[in-house]
């Protein structure tokens, strides 16, 4: 019996599989498993998991955006301890935010099923690092299941709920960008209603005080051994017999690359990478002449196998950074002398156009960063679409560390006293709610001398436009209380506070200059909705009167993708034009044009 047969219960009602993205399959699997509560904070590549729950009835599952990942996990924990199946989903760096809860919850247990889906981003397609969740999971003694495709993602999420309840532990299901965002066929089943249990009602178990934690820690280690025995006997650990000249232990999506590149060799597929199915690994190792570990990112399996005293090779040939692919695996196995070096791809003599990511035409963040550059601010940035202002032509962000870091980074910069420039923290609305409020309190409390600019575009734009408490709408589009940033700032003691429209360039410049001249914490809220959400905003486009253009190229400093070069010159400098199909008529370029040559098309 393979994993699919083990996990697929009852018999599927649909004979034909549905094409599903990994993230949709994860939500479907959770829904089928009877999940009652699902919470998440958006983050690529995990965002669509929670969004997919809107396909299902709110009577089946309450799915909601949390303000950050820790809150999402805490909500799921509360629900599981209250007796219903619950899930939190997040991107890999989200688990850092939720780690405090995870580290104690593995001591406490799950009661009803508690599943945490974490989507890693090998290759850093859309993240600030490429950390490997398996390390944090091992650190927390939390079992990890690793699907290879959408069907397994669906099946393993269901199985994860069963494991969680049977072993009384949270279970992590680890996805990656490739799996989360790839569509493949999935056989689905009906929902299984799981009766709610009573609230756990055992404070010795659920109150993490030293006395209880001291008792829980040894139990956690016993549980790890039970889980190991379970994975050793489980179809999750699949030995596919083949040639034994060398054998490969692998996991997750790399399994698919192994089957493509070396279909003839013996493979041990680990559907659970923590704890390791030790006895099977030993038998497998003894059955092959050379043991190769093919894993994406860190040598987690390799180190565990070596710690068992078994000789194996992995990261000596397989890259530790970046995403694997069949091509990279072929090169790795060639480096190990296990196959011929693949021929170099033919030189087609053409290079794909290099297109760096840019802020959208009309993005309200653009003028804020132009203004900050103009006043020569030292800018502690944060994470969001606006991070693109770190590169040319806006090039006005000096640091970006992680979500919510900007304000406290600015406090530190001001304390260091090494800069003559005004210190400004810039932070998006969603990020401010995620983790910007405590550092603002800290700044006021410690009498910092900084300016904070909240870039309120009324959406979580970076991850595709999710609602949050500042939009006044829930995941399912219902109206709810809408946060007022001015009120929050006043409540924490900010005394210099102004709201501006980033499309009003003159007022924006003046306000930022005044704010930075203030001694203490000043806050500027730049309020203007994202041009892409909820519907693409499009006003009357602008055009350049080329005859009047003096080629000063000031408008080019906006980095607006609608402004392009012409073949005409003025005193040796190239003139510009506006692509009216993409221009949304924000007028930022017209406002900064010194020769007044930019006007609405129909003016
Ligand atoms: C801990 C963590 N969670 C989630 C993300 C993914 N992420 C990056 S920026 C961002 C929020 C962006 O929204 P906002 O601050 O409103 O800025 P915008 O993109 O709208 O300009 C999110 C959710 C992340 N990088 N780190």
Of 509, 512, 538, the closest CA to residue 523 belongs to 512
Q: Same fold for the domain at 365-527 and the one at 542-600?
A: no
- Cα of 430 vs centre of ligand 1, distance in Å, is 7
CATH of 542-600, one of 3.90.226.10, 3.30.70.20, 3.40.50.300, 3.50.50.60: 3.30.70.20
Task: Name the E strands within 464-585.
Answer: 496-500, 522-527, 542-544, 563-570, 573-578
* Residue 71 and residue 62 in contact, taking contact as beta carbons nearer than 8 Å: no
* Residue 194 and residue 166 in contact, taking contact as beta carbons nearer than 8 Å: no
Residues 422 and 414: their CA atoms lie apart, in Å, by 9
Residue minimizing CA distance to atom 2 of ligand 1? 94
Is the CATH number of domain 3-233 3.40.50.1000? no
Percent of the chain with pLDDT over 90: 93
Taking the CA atoms of 172, 176, 181 and 182 in sequence, report the sign of the dihedral they define: negative
HEC assignment per residue over 304-365? HHHHCCCCCECCCCCCCCCCCCHHHHHHHHHHCCCCCCCCCCCCCCCCCCCCCCCCCCCCCH
Residue 2 has pLDDT above 90, yes or no: no
- Cα of 332 vs centre of ligand 1, distance in Å, is 35
- Cα of 43 vs centre of ligand 1, distance in Å, is 7
Every domain of the chain and the residues it spans: 3-233, 237-335, 365-527, 542-600
Residue minimizing CA distance to atom 9 of ligand 1? 384
**Local structure of residue 453 (DSSP, 8 states):** E
Residues 84 and 77: their CA atoms lie apart, in Å, by 10
pLDDT band at 17 (very low <50, low <70, confident <90, very high): very high
Between the CA atoms of 303, 306, 312 and 316, what dihedral angle is there, to the nearest 10 degrees?
Answer: 40
- Cα of 118 vs centre of ligand 1, distance in Å, is 16
Token reading at 148: 């290879």
Residue minimizing CA distance to atom 1 of ligand 1? 94
- Cα of 191 vs centre of ligand 1, distance in Å, is 33
Q: Which pLDDT tens digit goes with each residue over 342-390?
A: 888 888 888 888 777 899 999 999 999 999 999 999 999 999 999 999 9
Residues 276 and 138: their CA atoms lie apart, in Å, by 10
Q: Which pLDDT tens digit goes with each residue over 496-533?
A: 999 999 999 999 999 999 999 999 999 999 999 999 97
Q: Which pLDDT tens digit goes with each residue over 452-508?
A: 999 999 999 999 999 999 999 999 999 999 999 999 999 999 999 999 999 999 999
- Cα of 309 vs centre of ligand 1, distance in Å, is 43
Strand bridging mode 573-578 / 563-570: antiparallel
Write down the CATH number for the domain with range 237-335: 3.40.50.920
- Cα of 122 vs centre of ligand 1, distance in Å, is 18
What per-residue confidence (pLDDT) applies to 352? Answer: 80
What per-residue confidence (pLDDT) applies to 13? Answer: 57
What per-residue confidence (pLDDT) applies to 232? Answer: 98
Q: The whole model's pTM is what?
A: 0.95
Percent of the chain with pLDDT over 70: 98
Residue minimizing CA distance to atom 11 of ligand 1? 384
What is the number of the ligand 1 atom nearest to the C-alpha of 386? 21
Mutate to test the pocket of ligand 1, among 41, 43, 101, 436 (most ligand atoms within 8 A of CB): 43
* Residue 86 and residue 34 in contact, taking contact as beta carbons nearer than 8 Å: no
Architecture of the domain whose range is 365-527: 3-Layer(aba) Sandwich (3.40)
Residue 186 has pLDDT above 50, yes or no: yes
Token reading at 279: 């006895």
Strand bridging mode 272-274 / 144-145: antiparallel
What distance, in Å, lies between the first and last C-alpha atoms of the chain?
72
> CA of 261: how far to CAs of 27, 149, 325, in Å?
31, 17, 10
Q: Which pLDDT tens digit goes with each residue over 124-152?
A: 999 999 999 999 999 999 999 999 999 99
What is the number of the ligand 1 atom nearest to the C-alpha of 427? 15
- Cα of 516 vs centre of ligand 1, distance in Å, is 26
What per-residue confidence (pLDDT) applies to 345? Answer: 83
The SS3 of residue 303 is: helix
Cβ(94) – ligand 1 distance below 6 Å: yes
**Other beta carbons less than 10 A from residue 319's beta carbon:** 15
Q: Which pLDDT tens digit goes with each residue over 32-47?
A: 999 999 999 999 999 9
Residues 466 and 477: their CA atoms lie apart, in Å, by 10
Cβ(403) – ligand 1 distance below 6 Å: yes
The SS3 of residue 53 is: helix
Mutate to test the pocket of ligand 1, among 98, 358, 400, 430 (most ligand atoms within 8 A of CB): 430
What per-residue confidence (pLDDT) applies to 603? Answer: 76
Q: Which residues make Cβ contacts (< 8 Å) with residue 603, sequence separation at least 6?
A: none
* Residue 282 and residue 308 in contact, taking contact as beta carbons nearer than 8 Å: yes
Mutate to test the pocket of ligand 1, among 66, 403, 436, 453 (most ligand atoms within 8 A of CB): 403
Cβ(47) – ligand 1 distance below 6 Å: no
* Residue 470 and residue 458 in contact, taking contact as beta carbons nearer than 8 Å: yes
- Cα of 383 vs centre of ligand 1, distance in Å, is 5
What is the number of the ligand 1 atom nearest to the C-alpha of 530? 20
- The rounded Cα 421 to chain-centroid distance in angstroms is 33
Token reading at 538: 């499009």
Read off φ and ψ for residue 452, nearest 5 degrees.
-115, 130
Cβ(118) – ligand 1 distance below 6 Å: no
Residues 85 and 112: their CA atoms lie apart, in Å, by 5
Residues 496 and 511: their CA atoms lie apart, in Å, by 11
- Cα of 403 vs centre of ligand 1, distance in Å, is 7
Residue minimizing CA distance to atom 6 of ligand 1? 43
Rg (CA), the chain: 27
């Amino acid at each position: 019996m393979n994993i699919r047969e083990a996990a697929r219960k009852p018999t599927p009602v649909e004979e034909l599989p549905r094409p599903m993205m990994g993230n949709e399959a994860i939500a479907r699997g959770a829904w089928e498993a009877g999940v009652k509560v699902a919470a998440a904070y958006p983050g690529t590549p995990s965002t669509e998991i929670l969004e997919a729950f809107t396909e299902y009835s709110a009577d089946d599952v309450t799915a909601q955006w949390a303000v950050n990942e820790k809150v999402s996990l805490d909500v799921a924990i509360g629900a599981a301890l209250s007796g219903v199946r619950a899930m939190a989903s997040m991107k890999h760096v989200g688990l850092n935010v939720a780690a405090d809860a995870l580290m104690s919850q593995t001591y406490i247990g799950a009661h009803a099923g508690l599943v945490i889906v974490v989507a890693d981003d090998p290759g850093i397609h859309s993240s600030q690092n490429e950390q490997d969740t398996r390390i944090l999971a091992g650190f927390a003694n939390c079992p990890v299941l690793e699907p290879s495709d959408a069907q397994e993602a669906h099946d393993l999420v269901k199985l994860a709920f069963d494991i969680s309840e049977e072993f009384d532990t949270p279970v992590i299901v680890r996805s990656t960008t490739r799996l989360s965002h790839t569509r493949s066929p999935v056989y689905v089943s009906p929902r299984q209603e799981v009766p709610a249990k009573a609230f756990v009602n055992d404070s010795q178990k659920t109150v993490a005080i030293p006395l209880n934690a001291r008792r829980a820690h040894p139990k956690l280690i016993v549980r790890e051994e039970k889980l190991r025995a379970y994975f050793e006997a489980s179809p999750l650990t699949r030995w596919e017999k083949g040639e034994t000249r060398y054998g490969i232990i692998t996991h997750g999506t790399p399994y698919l690359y192994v089957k493509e590149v070396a279909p003839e060799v013996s493979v041990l597929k680990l559907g659970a990478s923590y704890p390791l199915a030790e006895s099977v690994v030993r038998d497998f190792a003894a059955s092959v002449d050379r043991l190769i570990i093919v894993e994406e990112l860190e040598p987690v399996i390799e180190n565990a196998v070596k710690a068992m005293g078994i000789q194996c090779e992995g990261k000596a040939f397989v890259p530790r950074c970046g995403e694997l692919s069949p091509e990279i695996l072929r090169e790795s196995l060639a480096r190990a002398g296990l196959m011929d070096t693949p021929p170099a791809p033919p030189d087609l003599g053409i290079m794909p156009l290099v297109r760096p990511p840019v802020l959208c035409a009309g993005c309200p963040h653009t003028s804020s960063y132009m203004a900050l550059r103009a006043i020569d601010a030292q800018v502690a940035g944060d994470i969001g679409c606006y991070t693109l202002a770190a590169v040319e032509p806006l090039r006005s962000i000096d640091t970006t560390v992680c979500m919510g870091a900007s304000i406290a980074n600015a406090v530190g910069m001001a304390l260091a006293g090494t800069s003559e420039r005004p210190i400004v923290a810039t932070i998006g609305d969603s990020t401010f709610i995620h983790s910007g409020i405590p550092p603002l309190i800290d700044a006021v409390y410690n009498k910092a001398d900084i300016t904070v600019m909240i870039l309120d575009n009324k959406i979580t734009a970076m991850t595709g436009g999710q609602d949050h408490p500042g939009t006044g709408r829930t995941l399912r589009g219902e109206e709810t209380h809408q946060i007022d940033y001015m009120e929050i700032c006043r409540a924490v003691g900010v005394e210099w506070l102004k709201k501006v429209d980033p499309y009003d360039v003159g007022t924006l410049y003046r306000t930022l200059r005044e704010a930075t001249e203030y001694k203490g914490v000043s806050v500027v809220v730049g309020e203007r909705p994202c041009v892409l959400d909820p519907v693409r905003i499009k006003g009357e486009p602008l055009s350049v009167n080329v005859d009047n253009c003096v080629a000063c190229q000031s408008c080019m400093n906006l980095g607006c993708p609608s402004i392009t070069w012409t073949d005409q010159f003025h005193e040796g400098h190239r003139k510009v034009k506006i692509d009216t199909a993409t221009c949304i008529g924000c007028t930022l370029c017209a406002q900064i044009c010194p020769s007044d040559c930019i006007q609405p098309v129909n003016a």
